[in-house]
């Protein structure tokens, strides 16, 4: 059993900074800009022997019905209702505001146990606000500085006591280990702003977990959610929209883009979501190139498919376009979905699992070298300065993505066209369509050089290596 702690409060009181400190690492974006956090971000942590789920929420604020702020507030209130414990945060330097009082009332109405943290209490500037916090009726406040770590020992002790009581009520000892589970597949959904990424994530989760709407740029953090699909555990990441550098405005968007790029780097499979009304724009291709350069498995999902009339002809045209514009990911699966209608999800996840299996594939050295000899016999490597380039041996050095090393007499002289010939042969023969392939050429050292000089050849000349993605 994992207990859930929701961190709540009005905007810019330091909730995300406290979330990061309790999680033990920087996960949530932090900025002086109020309202930077929009979706709920979660993280696993350990407090007093308890495994807990921390939930960082958007700032609570009054807002007109249907506005972005109102949708953020709905998500925050829901997080409090679903939590086992609420950690309510105020800004001691600003003192108690009418918003603090209104939302403290909401916390009390939730019926959840509450711990009150008076953040930014370092120095004398926070003393008045700390004492003023008693009138919120949430019990004794804990003076802390989430940024500097002041007062965290007392806060953690209070959290441990509350968690002990909750665990005892649930009939579980604090140090009872959680059941082990298989490591989840890490899946990130990326794309340009307003492509429908959050709507797709909600459809996969079967829950309105992410804030959605017609406004571009709603998502700022790369939000991770747990998903089980056909018995397989998945860590699903919703990311901020990626657009050209020249159009990025302000620090918050730069932070969001950086978070999305990090999500790509830590993912195993990346779904690039494309708008069917504006398919394969330059930014889509640049995102795809980034995914392949990072060595991640790629699946392209074309969204808003319910808007298309002649689907068979258009699907064929889009697949041909992907083949032509993305030669570095030749054979990448292209799946057609409607995120808002939750259609095409089974085909999308089937493509994700299939691509993941290819990305992890290993080929035996014997099988590789039999293929290698056939490729060399079919097209002999070209000659350089009258001397023929000799390719002797190939082996797979790694998977995730499939990585191969071929030993060659003159690796720097082998033409790019011949390297592409070998890479395409690997794809077609071993069914590696759509995944990045790394092929490195290495010059094998002459063992007779060592005998003549008595000195290892490696100390006298650097090994030559070339690579192809």
Residue 180 has pLDDT above 70, yes or no: no
Answer whether residue 396 is part of any domain: yes
pLDDT band per the 50, 70, 90 thresholds, residue 306: very high
Residue 468 has pLDDT above 70, yes or no: no
Residues 197 and 81 placed together within one structural domain of the fold: no
pLDDT band per the 50, 70, 90 thresholds, residue 284: very high
Residues 323 and 206 placed together within one structural domain of the fold: yes
Mean pLDDT of 339-356: 96
Taking the CA atoms of 172, 175, 180 and 183 in sequence, report the sign of the dihedral they define: positive
324-to-315, 329, 331 alpha-carbon distances in Å: 14, 10, 10
pLDDT band per the 50, 70, 90 thresholds, residue 190: very high
Percentage of the chain exceeding pLDDT 70:
78
Taking the CA atoms of 124, 8, 200 and 45 in sequence, report the sign of the dihedral they define: positive
Answer whether residue 177 is part of any domain: no
Is this structure's pTM higher than 0.75? no
Query: 314 is written with which tokens?
Result: 């258009």
Residues 280 and 158 placed together within one structural domain of the fold: no
Q: Which residues of 86-121 are buried (b: 16+ CB within 10 A; e: fewer)?
A: bbbbbbbbebbeebbeebbebbeebebbbbbbbbbb
Answer whether residue 83 is part of any domain: yes
Q: What residues does 235 pair with on adjacent strands?
A: 186, 226
Residues 114 and 84 placed together within one structural domain of the fold: yes
pLDDT band per the 50, 70, 90 thresholds, residue 71: low
Task: Name the strand (E) or helix (H) holding 54.
Answer: strand 50-56
Tell me the backbone φ, ψ of residue 409, rounded to 5 degrees.
Answer: -70, -35
Q: Long-range contact list for 122-130, CB < 8 A, 24+ apart?
A: 122/148, 122/150, 125/92, 125/93, 126/92, 126/93, 127/92, 128/92, 128/95, 129/90, 129/91, 129/92, 129/93, 129/94, 129/95, 129/96, 130/92
Q: Which range among 28-42, 44-58, 196-210, 332-346 shows the weakest confidence by mean pLDDT?
A: 28-42
Say what the pLDDT of residue 60 is. Answer: 61
Residues 194 and 317 placed together within one structural domain of the fold: yes
Using the 3D structure, point to which of 130, 145, 169 is the last residue of a domain: 169
DSSP structural state of residue 151: T
Residues 374 and 447 placed together within one structural domain of the fold: yes
Q: Which residues of 220-232 are buried (b: 16+ CB within 10 A; e: fewer)?
A: bbbbbbebebeee
Using the 3D structure, point to which of 311, 335, 359 is the last residue of a domain: 359
Answer whether residue 179 is part of any domain: no
Residues 353 and 374 placed together within one structural domain of the fold: no
Residues 35 and 140 placed together within one structural domain of the fold: yes
Residues 339 and 227 placed together within one structural domain of the fold: yes
Residues 88 and 10 placed together within one structural domain of the fold: yes
Answer whether residue 180 is part of any domain: no
Say what the pLDDT of residue 182 is. Answer: 62
Taking the C-alpha atoms of residue 411 and residue 391, their distance in angstroms, rounded to an integer, is 9
Helix (H, G, I), strand (E, B) or coil at 404: strand
Q: Looking at 93-196, which runs of residues are DSSP E strands?
A: 114-119, 142-143, 185-191
Query: 231 is written with which tokens?
Result: 């018995």
User: Are the beta carbons of 185 and 269 closer than 8 angstroms?
Assistant: yes
Answer whether residue 418 is part of any domain: yes
Residue 215 has pLDDT above 60, yes or no: no
Helix (H, G, I), strand (E, B) or coil at 88: strand
Mean pLDDT of 189-217: 76
Answer whether residue 370 is part of any domain: yes
**CATH number of the structural domain spanning residue 443:** 3.30.300.20
Residue 348 has pLDDT above 50, yes or no: yes
Answer whether residue 176 is part of any domain: no
Burial class (CB in 10 A: 0-12, 13-18, 19+), 2: exposed
Taking the CA atoms of 242, 244, 247 and 248 in sequence, report the sign of the dihedral they define: positive
Q: What residues does 188 pair with on adjacent strands?
A: 237, 270
**CATH number of the structural domain spanning residue 230:** 3.40.50.300
Percentage of the chain exceeding pLDDT 90:
42
Residue 451 has pLDDT above 90, yes or no: no
Say what the pLDDT of residue 61 is. Answer: 54
Q: Which range among 17-26, 114-123, 262-271 shows the weakest confidence by mean pLDDT?
A: 17-26
Q: Count up the domains in the chain and report the number.
A: 3
Residues 17 and 143 placed together within one structural domain of the fold: yes
DSSP structural state of residue 150: B
Tell me the backbone φ, ψ of residue 454, rounded to 5 degrees.
Answer: 75, 5
Using the 3D structure, point to which of 334, 359, 384 is the last residue of a domain: 359
Strand order in the sheet with 3-8: 41-47, 50-56, 3-8, 85-91, 114-119, 142-143
Residues 383 and 441 placed together within one structural domain of the fold: yes
Query: 97 is written with which tokens?
Result: 């505001």
Say what the pLDDT of residue 385 is. Answer: 76
Which residue would you say has higher pLDDT here, 112 or 64? 112
- Full domain range(s) for residue 384: 365-468
Q: What residues does 233 pair with on adjacent strands?
A: 228
Kindly report whether the peptide bond that precedes residue 110 is cis, defined as omega within 30 degrees of 0.
no
Mean pLDDT of 125-143: 86
């Amino acid at each position: 059993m994992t207990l859930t702690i929701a961190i709540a409060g009005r905007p810019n009181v330091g909730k995300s900074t406290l979330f990061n400190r309790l999680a033990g690492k920087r996960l949530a974006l932090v900025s002086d800009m109020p309202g930077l956090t929009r979706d709920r971000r979660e993280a696993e942590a350990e407090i007093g022997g308890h495994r807990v789920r921390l939930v960082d929420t958007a700032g609570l604020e009054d807002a007109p019905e249907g506005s972005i702020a109102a949708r953020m507030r709905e998500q925050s209130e829901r997080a409090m209702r679903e939590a086992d414990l609420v950690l309510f945060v105020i800004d001691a330097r600003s003192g108690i505001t009418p918003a603090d009082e209104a939302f403290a009332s909401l916390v009390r109405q939730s019926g959840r146990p509450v711990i009150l943290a008076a953040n930014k209490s370092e120095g004398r500037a926070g003393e008045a606000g700390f004492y003023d916090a008693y009138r919120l009726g949430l019990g004794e406040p804990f003076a802390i500085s989430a940024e500097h770590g002041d007062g965290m020992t007392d806060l953690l002790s209070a959290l441990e006591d509350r968690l002990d009581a909750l665990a005892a009520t649930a009939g579980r000892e604090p140090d009872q280990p959680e059941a082990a589970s298989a490591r989840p597949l890490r899946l990130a959904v990326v794309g340009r702003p307003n492509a429908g990424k959050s709507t797709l994530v909600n459809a996969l989760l079967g829950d309105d977990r992410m804030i959605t709407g017609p406004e571009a740029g709603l998502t700022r953090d790369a939000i991770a959610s747990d998903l089980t699909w056909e018995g397989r555990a998945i860590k699903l990441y919703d990311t901020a929209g990626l657009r050209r550098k020249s159009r990025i405005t302000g620090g918050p968007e730069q932070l969001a883009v950086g978070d999305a790029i990090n999500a790509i780097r830590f993912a195993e499979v990346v779904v690039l979501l494309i708008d069917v009304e504006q398919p394969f724009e330059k930014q889509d291709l640049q995102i795809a190139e980034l995914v392949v350069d990072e060595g991640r498995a790629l699946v392209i999902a074309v969204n808003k498919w319910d808007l298309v009339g002649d689907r068979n002809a258009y699907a064929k045209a889009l697949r041909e376009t992907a083949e032509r514009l993305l030669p570095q990911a030749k054979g990448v699966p292209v799946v057609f979905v409607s995120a808002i209608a939750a259609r095409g999800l089974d085909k999308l996840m089937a493509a994700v699992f299939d691509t993941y299996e290819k990305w992890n594939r290993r080929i035996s050295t014997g099988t590789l070298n039999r293929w290698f000899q056939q490729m060399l016999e079919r097209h002999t490597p070209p000659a350089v300065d009258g001397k023929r380039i000799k390719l002797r041996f190939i082996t797979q050095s790694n998977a995730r993505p499939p990585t191969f090393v071929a030993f060659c007499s003159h690796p720097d002289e082998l033409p790019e066209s011949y390297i592409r010939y070998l890479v395409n042969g690997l794809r077609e023969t071993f069914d590696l369509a759509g995944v990045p392939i790394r092929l490195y050429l290495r010059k094998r050292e002459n063992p007779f050089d060592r005998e003549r000089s008595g000195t290892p050849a490696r100390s006298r000349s650097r090994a030559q290596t070339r690579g192809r993605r």
